[in-house]
Amino acid sequence: MTVEQKLERKIGSFQAITINMAQMMGAGPFITIPLVLSAMGGPQAMFGWIAGAALALLDGQIWSELGSAIPGEGGTYNFFKAAFYRRTGNLMPFLFIWSVLLATPLTMSSGAIGLANYVGFFLPNMTALQTKLIAVFVTLLAIALLYRRVSSVAKISFILWIGMILTVVLVIGTGVLHFDPKMAFDFPKDAFEPSSFFKGLGAGMLLSIYDYLGYYTSAYMGDELKSPGKTIPKAITWSIILVALIDLLMNIGIIGYVPWKEAAKSSNIGSLFMTKAWGAPGGIIITLLIIWTCFASVYTGLLGASRIPYNAAQDGVFFKSFSHLHPKLRFPNYSLLVIGAIMVVCCFFNLTTVINALMAVQIVIQFMMQIIALTVLRRNKPNLKRPYKQFLYPLPSIIAFIGWAFVFVSSGTDAIWLAFLWTILGILIFLVRNFFSHDGWPFGNEKKRG
């Protein structure tokens, strides 16, 4: 890569934390609080948030070690390249990019659709098509704002982060002022009956982990971070801790004022909560802020996702056009436009039944395989410089692997089948591509790229 093609290192630790948090928060809690309450059948839903945070922190150690040791644009792509190339060539990096093409636009479009649903607070007679068109507009606006230098992007991310913090402060503050512990801890008689509790916990963890996703966004931007070996672990750990506290406090605060059975049935819990507490003005203000927060998630999600195909293309594993940088603004504009275009299409789908499938695909191809990648690198590259090392290795890796397996099984039969079929299809496409090119495992002498 020539000097002219290099990305600029402009993002510090605090900005990296804000980028992670903006991606993690988004529409998530304001959509999933009712779903977690329903899945777990009462206030014991708080244990779903706690268990999800614990899994995220364990997995965050894996991201921190890999991200600090192998910083660069692409995150997991780079980790798989380093760990699995000797045995299977570019198969695992290719499968990761393949999974990204399905999971990432759908995941981000959920934020756009969540935003559009909250617009329905002001326009209750909106049709389903109008809601989808609003989500498309949100996606196009995010692309337009990302079409600039990364230093400007970091400033915009900070402004969006401020709006997100104001939103959660208002919700948590209102919860404190109106808190009723008897209502918040109104557990059903069978709340902790083992079989039902753990079945609900799996579903609750699936939803809460969905809310935490994004704690690794900064790891996709290693070439744009100042001192990535220190910045990545710090950004990951602090963003998980802060968002976990925010989500738990919001969950307890809301059901400490709105009966959990009523909250579980709400489609716009944030607006319901603030309207109940402060009347129509409160509902209007919080709805506007939730819309702001949802947009922050879409914006930072596109920011991180656009860097993944870029790095793969730089290596020659993905289509070459994705490696193009804007000649003046120095960011991967083709990658951004393609990911954004796929996201526009995703906005026309109903994501309610797809979230489980998205999680299943990511768990198999990314999270569980990434734990294996760390183990392989520990064994095969013991001298690799590691600015951050997993504490108490391999215990966190083992527990995280079991945790991801538990969540995967809880995603349901349809989601598991989709993850399996999508992975098999990706393997077939990879093999056909290499067969006809005669340049790649297992049909040719694949040259290590990058």
Structural domain includes residue 321:
yes
Contact 358, 103 (CB under 8 A): yes
0.95 exceeded by the pTM?
no
Structural domain includes residue 443:
no
Contact 92, 80 (CB under 8 A): yes
Residues whose CB falls within 8 Å of the CB of residue 26, separated by 6 or more in sequence, listed in order:
111, 114, 214, 293, 294, 296, 297, 298, 301
Residue 2 scores a pLDDT above 60: no
Q: Write down the pLDDT at residue 1.
A: 44
Structural domain includes residue 446:
no
Both structure tokens of 11? 């993002």
Residue appearing with tokens 């268990």: 51
Greatest distance between any 2 Cα atoms in the chain: 69
Structural domain includes residue 445:
no
CATH code of 216's domain: 1.20.1740.10
Q: Write down the pLDDT at residue 29.
A: 79
Cis status, amide bond into 181, omega within 30 of 0: no
Residues whose CB falls within 8 Å of the CB of residue 353, separated by 6 or more in sequence, listed in order:
none
With cut-offs at 50, 70 and 90, classify the pLDDT of residue 3: very low
Structural domain includes residue 202:
yes
- Number of structural domains found in the chain: 1
Query: pLDDT tens digit string along 26-46?
Result: 667 788 888 889 888 889 989
The C-alpha atoms of residue 313 and residue 335 are separated, in whole angstroms, by: 10
- Average pLDDT in the 101-109 region? 80
Structural domain includes residue 383:
yes
Structural domain includes residue 447:
no
With 0-12 / 13-18 / 19 or more C-beta atoms within 10 angstroms meaning exposed / middle / buried, residue 428 is: exposed
The C-alpha atoms of residue 115 and residue 299 are separated, in whole angstroms, by: 12
Query: pLDDT tens digit string along 275-318?
Result: 999 999 999 999 998 898 888 878 877 877 777 778 777 777 87
Structural domain includes residue 389:
yes
Range of the domain at 241: 9-436
